[in-house]
Structures are given as C-alpha cells and as structure tokens.
Structure 1
Amino acid sequence: MTTEEKLQHFLDFCMEDVRGRSGKMLDDYEASLEKTFEEHKANASDRAKMQIRIQKETIKREMNKRLSLEQLELKRKVSKKQEELKDMLFVELRDYLAKFESSPAYYQLLEQQIKAAKDFSGDEHMVIFMDPADEKHMSRLAYQYGVRIQASDQSFLGGTIAVIPAKNILIDNSFSKKLVEARQNFSFGVELADGGESDGK
C-alpha cells in the first residue's frame, strides 16, 4: 500500500469515526431535547391543571360568598316584611279586642277572671285592678263577687290584674300582657337559615 493510499485510508477511518461519534452526539442531543420537551410539556400540563383547579376553587369561593350575601339580604328583607305584617296583624287584633270589649262576652270574661282569682285567694285580702275604660263595670262586679275593685293608673287594654298582698302574688290577665306574649310567640312558620319550614304558632 502506497503512502498516499495509507493516508487516504487513515482519513477515511477518521471521517467514519467522526461521523459515528457525531451521529451518536446528535442522537443523544436529540434524545435530551425530546426528554426536556416532554418534561416541559408535563410540567406545563401540571401547571395548567393546577391553575384551572385554583381558578375553580376561587370561582367556587366567590360564588359561595355571593350566595351567602344574597341569602342574608333575602333573610333581612323577609324578616322586615314579617315585622310589617306582624304590626298590621296586631293592630287588627287590638281593633278586634276593642270591639270584643263592647260585647256581653267581655263582661262574662271579666266575671270568669275575677271568680278564678277569688277562688285562688281564698280568704286572703285581694285587690282587682281593671282598665280605666272598664270603670262602668267595676261597681257591679265588686258587689257581685264581694271584692275590692279599682281602676288602674295606666291602661292595659282590658282584662284584669289581681293582687294578693299576703301571698305576694300577682295574677296578670290583662290584654296588654296577652298581646305581648302573643307577639313574642308568634311565628309565620318560615325559617330561611335552614332553608326549611317550621310549624307556625
């Protein structure tokens, strides 16, 4: 083999070696890029999923907050309307009681209250207070049941209040007290807090 042929053979060998190593380097580099790309794609997908989850949670919190505020506002409006209706209802009830006081049934009610108080007091001294508007009934009832009856200093809309000093007992059958109790115990049977209903009183 001539020197020139040896040189050419050496060059061919070197070129083949270089091509082989270059090809492997390119393959390794391409594989590295592919791996980096896949990792980046996976990370981007994870970040996107996390971002979507965060946005969903944020939207859910905002919706819950808005719904809660709207529910509170609705409850406030319903409560206000209930109070307005309750005021109207009890104005009508007072008017009804005023008409009732002009009926014979009212006098019978006074008789029942005084008799019950007298039976309860026994032989103890007792004073019956009546509304100033019922002064026309006092003398007759006092004579009928043999009890002391006097007009109250303040109106209590009707009914009676019996005082038994010896027993330190007050029997309040006044209409004003009954109206207060009725208003306190009155319910429209609507409960917004739980989204349900309860029986009215």
Structure 2
Amino acid sequence: MTIEEKISHLQEAAMEEARAEGNRIMKQHETVLENIFEQHRAEAIRQSETRVKAEGVNAKQQLNMVMSKAQLELKRDFSKTRKTLKKELFVEVKEKLQEYMQTEEYKRMLVQYIEKSVKYANGEAMTIYINPSDADKKEYLEEHTGMTLTVSREDFIGGVRAVIHGRNILIDHAYKGALENEYHNFMFRGGAGDE
C-alpha cells in the first residue's frame, strides 16, 4: 500500500470516526433538547390548565354576580309591579264599594248591622253612627230599625259603628278598617316565586 493509499484510508477512517462521534454528539444533544422541550411543554400545559381553571372560576364568579344582580333587579321590579297592581286593585275595590253603597242591598246590610249591634247591647245605652256619605239613608235606617242614628263626623267609608257607653265597647262594622286590614294583609297568590 502506498502512502497515498494509507493517507486516504486513514483519512476515511478518521472521517468515519468523526462522523460517528458527530452523530453520537448530535443524538445526545437531540435527546437533551427533546427532554428540555418535554419539560417546557409539560410546564406550559400545566400553566395553561391552571390559567384555564382560574379563568373558568373567574368567569363563573362573574356570571354568578351578574345573575345575582339580575335576580335582585327582577325581584325589585316584581315587587314594584306587585305594589302598583295592589294599589290599582284596591282603587277598583273602592270604586266597586262606592257602587255597592248605592244599592238597596247595602241599605239592608246597614239595617242588619244596626240590628246586630242593638242585640249585642242587650238594652244598654248606645250611640250608633253612620258614615257621612250615608246621611241620605238616615231616615230610611231609623224607620226600619226603630233606632236613633248619629251621622259621624269621621269618614269611615261606609258601614256602621256603635258605642256601648256603659261597657266602653266599640262595635265596628265600618268598611275603612276592613279595607285597611285587607290592603295590609293582601298578597297575590298563584304566581311563580310567591310566598
């Protein structure tokens, strides 16, 4: 073998060994880079999952706050509407009551109230009051009950009040107190969310 052949052979062997060493170093470096990449990828996934969970919790809290605010606003509107409807209803009730107070049936009811009061007094001295709006019915009521009636200075809307002086008893068949009591205790029933 000639020197040139030996140099060529030596050169090929050295190049092969250098290629093998370079491949080994590149493979080792590639493995290290893949490990670093996997660690970074795992950390990035972990951070993104944590961020997604945090954003989810934050979004849920914001949604709950918005829903709570909306529910509160709905309850306020519902309550306001309920109060408005209640007032309108009782305006209608008073109108119907005024219409009823112009009927013969109302006169007969006043007679019944007076007779019940007289029966309850059992002969004791008493004063029977009728509402100022019923002053036009005084003569009719006195004629049908045999009692002397007094027109009240206080407007109690309608009905009859009687005072038994000896026992300090007020017999109250007045509509004013009954209407106020009904208004105070009235609640709409049957709708969703009603108590």
Q: Is the 8 A contact 2:157 2:174 kept in 1?
A: yes
DSSP-derived class of the 1:74 partner: helix
SS of aligned partner of 2:52: helix
Q: Secondary structure at the match of 2:155?
A: coil
Percent of aligned pairs with the same residue?
31
| Residue pairs, 1:118-133, within 5 angstroms | 118-133=118-133
Change over 3 Å in CA distance of 1:171–1:32 after alignment to 2: farther
What TM-score results when the alignment is normalised by the length of structure 1? 0.70
Equivalence for 1:90: 90
Query: Could you report, residue by residue, the CA deviation over 1:27-65 in whole angstroms, capped at 9, with x for unpaired residues?
Result: 5x8777655554443333232222211111111111111
Residue 196 of structure 1 aligns to a residue whose secondary structure is: coil
The one-letter code of the counterpart of 1:136 is D
Deviations 1:54-108 (A, max 9, x none): 1111111111111111122222222222222222222222121112111110111
**Deviation, structure 1 residue 190:** 5.8
RMSD over aligned CA atoms reads 3.1
Matches within 5 A, 1:1-201: 37-142=37-142, 144-189=144-189, 196-197=193-194
**Letter paired with 1:120:** Y
Q: Deviations over 1:135-180 (max 9, x none)?
A: 2333443465454531221211110122223333222221111221
Q: Give the direction of change, closer, same or farther, for the CA distance of 1:40–1:171 in structure 2 (3 Å limit).
A: farther
**In the aligned structure 2, how far is the partner of 1:105 from the partner of 1:35?**
100
In 2: Cα distance, 1:31 partner to 1:126 partner: 113
Query: Letter of the aligned partner of 1:122 in structure 2?
Result: N
CA distance in 2, matches of 1:36, 1:121: 104
Bigger Cα displacement from structure 2, 35-44 vs 99-108: 35-44
Shifted more, 111-120 versus 38-47: the winner is 38-47
Q: TM-score, normalised by structure 2?
A: 0.72
Tell me the distance in 1 between the aligned counterparts of 2:87 and 2:94: 11
CA contact (8 A) 1:124 1:166 kept: yes
